[in-house]
Structure 1
Amino acid sequence: MDDRAAIPVTLPRSNPTQSYWQLEPDEIADLRSTDSLPEKAETVIIGSGITGAAVAFNLLNSGANDIVMLEARQACSGATGRNGGHTKAASYRSFLYYEEEYGTETAVKIARLELANIRAVHAFAKEHGIECDSNPCDTIDVVYDEAQWERDQQAVEAMRDAMPGDDASVYTIHSAEEVRDKFFCGCGGDEGVYGGVSYEAGSLSSYKFGIGVLKLCLAKGLNLQTNTSVLDLEKLEDGGWKVETSRGSIQAKRVVLATNGYTARIWKKFQGIIVPLRGHVTAQRQGSKMPKDGLPVTYSFIYEDGYDYMIQRPKGSQFEGDIVIGGGLAKGDNEGIEEYGTTDDTAFDDVIMQALNRSLPEYFGDNWGQDNPEGRIRNAWTGIMGYSPDGFPFVGEMLGEKDLWVSCGFQGHGMVLCWMCARALVRMMNGGDDDELDSWFPEEFRITEERLHLDFHGRLHT
């Protein structure tokens, strides 16, 4: 793993695999608010995904102006525009580990933040009329590993004990029989189900959501510059920053890195600390025997050393009924080790992609039926996530570098972390780093010297 973490992080690649969510790129995909790059700005945000968009919105809403956003490719074309569309925390799966390592208070705080993030995203989409197929709903984790099943039940009990009556500890345990009867899994083709856990989650097009937030920011004066790669950052003698790009340089009082898996390309101290990991996702037409009214929940399929995650496109959406399923890392050669350290989202790992392509008939068994006459696979793509040594994002001001702010490294868990982390970051930037922030934002997410020197060992379960 040391060798993979040491691979120099590159800029985003040209001509990536085409994401299902971007088959019809939005009208602002290649927008440049001004023909030329401004010479100066109060704030430069690097990255136009959900983090960059959320930071920009919160800054603009608090009265800031003169904000320039730089994006290496099209708007919202990174991880936010390439994920599986899941707003799902699965907080119980990490709760025992967090409790053991950091204490019950921290474990509870993280679980509450994750649920608050899910609710905030869907509420924001509704409040602002963002058409992103927002679908708050329940989810089911179907568990195929006996040891994991035992630990899952212990974790749910631990959460109930630690936070009784709290919405973030509401889980329902299902027997294997209930999983087969209510959720259509493990029938005919797979009898290895041990049980299931259901709880609050949701799905949406995070691309359309991110684009929607960007449009709100543009209406408030954001200057968006797409297809503009950041090549270097330089601290100026007057305390500001020089941002060198593929189209010239821009000076800024402060800079925000919203660059997730690509962060180490811009700021070298994150090399080996925020490590890229390539994820695989497919969109598949449903089988002939699947419920005509749609599946009742979203899904994850938990097996030894890994998991797949799955949503179905809701009624009224484009490609209604399509099933989007991603994951499969542990099914790759050597448990997918070659996916670490790569920023190549122009290509696939054949072994992982083949596993995803055949996964749905295996999971749904006799309930799948015949493949669609047009073919099961509609689209397949990859995207680059950012992973840290301890499983937490890095949020705050870079140590010893005044006005260099960071919110990066979301472990493929961005849709339940990015929104609230951006809110916390803007509070810090506005001088609101106080007890109120500490009451809901985990100390463990902050940037420390110790965290910047941790060894990267690979993916943590989140």
Structure 2
Amino acid sequence: MDQRAKMPVSLPSANPTVSYWQDPPDAIADHRSTPDLPSSADTVIIGSGITGAAVAWNLLQSTNPGSIVMLEARQACSGATGRNGGHTKAASYRTFTHHVSTLGLAAAKQIARLELANILSVHAFARDHSIDCDLNPCQTIDVIYDPAQWDEAVASVCAMRDAFPSGEPEGQYELYSAEEVKERFHVHDGVYQGREEKVQGGVGYFAGSLSAYRFGVGVLRLCLGRGLNLQTGTPATVLEKKVDDGGGMWWEAKTPRGVIRAKRVVLATNGYTAAVWPRLQGVVVPLRGQVTVQRPGSRMPRRGCLPRTYSFIYDKGYEYMVPRPEGSRFAGDIVMGGGLVRAPDDGLLEFGTTDDAAVNDGISEYLKETAPRYFGPDWGEDDPEGRVRSEWTGIMGFSPDGFPLVGKVRGEEGLWASCSFQGHGMVLCWMCAKALVEMMEDRDGEQIIEWFPDAFRIAEERLALRFQGRLDAIPKTREPSAAERQMTSCVANSVWQ
């Protein structure tokens, strides 16, 4: 993994795989607000995904936002936002007890609250601004096949119920036995490479889905109406700090179309961050993810328009599944992503790569068989036009400690970042962008401290950590802390233990 983290990060590929969500591209995909690149701006935002769009939107709420120019290497919203599965799903219980052990109960609760608030805020923004993005708030079910992870899930749900009493939404999880999961959610025991994988149980809670691409371009369109200057096809190849004889400081972003100066620059570049700011090499490590869209089998209920989203969790890995809702284009399609650890060496070669112009053939074969394997006889016959409608890849960003990097880049006046979302951007980006703008606008006081986790802030000690991979795939061999043992004591009397 050390060698993968050291691989020089490149700019986005010129000819990426075609994302289902971007076919066809939106009308603003190749938008340039002005024919020529402006020579200067008050703020330059690098990246036009949901983070860049949310930063621009929050800045534009100021009475005097100044001039804002957004640089995008390819088409608008063509990176991870336009390539993910559209799953607005926190799954906070899967990290809660670990956060309690490493950060303390108060911080663990703060992270869980932020994740849910992010989902609710994105949903509300789409509704309030009439963004047509197939928004579908719904329940979700995590089907768990690994006995150890099932035990851990039960303990975590119990801990969250204790930590968020009196009906607080963050603690509202339902536990289902293996029999209930198979009866209610159409899933079955399966076999992978000759090894039986049995359903252990399930966890249900609130989530949702949307077209993140259409949401992202919807936010960009609102920003354009308020004065944002968007320059697509304009990669920032070099970022340099300049100081004049009088001590004045500014940044220069060099592009193939010229140089633009700005007092402040925002890196909204996620997995590509080290390509623009090489000092973050090994701190924000790219990871290529893969997604398929499959036409539903003949026996899938409601022509595949299932009323909830799914995740399928097994030893060291998982897949997520988002059924396209009724009324959407290709309603009933099954969006299935994941499969990383089913590749050789648990997907090691996907770390460090920014090549979304290709797919991993082994993951392709695995994902193609995934939905029929999980749904068994409830899948039925494949669609006459074929099972897989579309397949593509996208680049995520991961940090050594598993948290986003948000705030001022250490030692660099005027350089800000919000990146490294661990493949979890749809429940982190929006609120992180809001926090970043609060910091940029000198409102980093008690109000933000109440809701924004310190663990997400850029800090020197975080930049020195060694990258070990995707932390949710690393087996946990430590003994539980005293805080965890106290919080999960109710499990001993639980019918699920």
Same fold per TM (> 0.5)? Answer: yes
- 1:183 touches 1:296 (CA, 8 Å); kept in 2? no
In structure 1, what is the Cα distance between the partners aligned to 2:190 and 2:429?
Answer: 40
CA-CA distance at 1:160 after TM superposition: 1.1
Q: 1:171: which partner in 2?
A: 173
Q: Distance in 2 between matches of 1:112 and 1:221?
A: 33
Alignment gaps of 5+ in structure 2: 474-497
Whether the aligned pair in 2 keeps the contact of 1:188 and 1:366 (CA below 8 Å) is no
Q: Could you tell me how far apart the structure 2 residues matched to 1:140 and 1:262 are?
A: 32
Which structure 1 residue ranges, 5 or more long, are not aligned?
none
Q: Partner amino acid for 1:356?
A: L
CA contact (8 A) 1:256 1:406 kept: yes
CA RMSD, aligned part only?
A: 1.1
Tell me the equivalent position of 1:210: 216
Is 1:43 the counterpart of 2:46 in the alignment? Answer: no
Q: Please show how residues 201-350 of structure 1 align to structure 2 within 5 Å.
A: 201-237=207-243, 238-292=248-302, 294-350=305-361
TM-score (norm 1): 0.99
Q: Which residue of 2 aligns with 1:180?
A: 182
Secondary structure of 1:421 counterpart: helix
Q: Deviations over 1:26-63 (max 9, x none)?
A: 00000010000000100000000000000000000123
- Residue 30 to residue 303, structure 1, CA distance change in 2 (3 Å): same
2:437 and 2:381 mapped to 1: Cα distance? 51
Matched, 1:382 2:393: yes
Give the distance between the partners of 1:215 and 1:65, measured in 2 at CA.
18
3-state secondary structure, aligned to 2:263: strand
Tell me by how many angstroms 1:191 deviates.
6.5
* SS of the residue 1:115 aligns to: helix
Aligned residue for 1:439, secondary structure, equals helix
**Separation (CA, whole Å) in 2 of partners of 1:43 and 1:347:** 34
Whole-Å separation in 1 of the counterparts to 2:116 and 2:252:
38
**Cα distance in 1, alignment partners of residues 269 and 128 from structure 2:** 27
- Between the aligned partners of 2:240 and 2:359, the Cα distance in structure 1 is 35
Aligned equivalent of 1:30 = 30
Is 2:271–2:397's contact at 8 Å kept on the other side of the alignment? yes
| Residue correspondence of structure 1 range 103-122 to structure 2 within 5 A | 103-122=104-123
Aligned residue number for residue 396 of structure 1: 407
Is the counterpart of residue 9 in structure 1 residue 9 in structure 2?
Answer: yes
Determine the structure 2 residue equivalent to 1:130. 131
Aligned with 2:381 (options 355, 370, 377): 370
User: 1:461 offset after TM fit, Å?
Assistant: 2.0
User: What secondary structure is seen at the aligned counterpart in 1 of 2:377?
Assistant: helix
1:232 alignment partner AA: V
SS at match of 1:461: helix
**What SS class does the counterpart of residue 460 from structure 2 fall into?**
coil
Q: What SS does the aligned partner of 1:234 have?
A: strand
- 2:395 aligned counterpart, secondary structure: strand
Cα distance in 2 between the residues matched to 1:269 and 1:389: 15
| Percent of aligned pairs with the same amino acid | 62
Distance 1:292 1:234 in 2: 55
Q: Deviations over 1:119-151 (max 9, x none)?
A: 100100000000000001110000000000000
- The 8 Å contact of residues 394 and 409 in structure 1, kept in 2 or not, is answered as yes
Q: Find runs of 4+ consecutive structure 1 residues off by over 3 angstroms.
A: 187-191
> Does 1:57 find its partner at 2:57?
yes
Q: Return the letter of the residue paired with 1:57.
A: W
Equivalenced residue count is 462
Asked if the contact 1:269–1:452 (Cα under 8 Å) also holds between the matched residues in 2, the reply is no
- Contact 1:187/1:367 (<8 A) preserved: no
CA distance in 1, matches of 2:210, 2:472: 23
Secondary structure of 2:121's aligned partner: helix
Which amino acid letter does the alignment assign opposite residue 71 of structure 1? E
| Correspondence for 1:147 | 148
1:26 and 1:296 mapped to 2: Cα distance?
Answer: 28
Asked if 1 retains the 8 angstrom alpha-carbon contact of 2:190 and 2:373, the reply is no
Q: Partners of 1:424 and 1:191 in 2: how far apart?
A: 42
Partner of 1:90: 91
Letter in 2 for 1:10: S
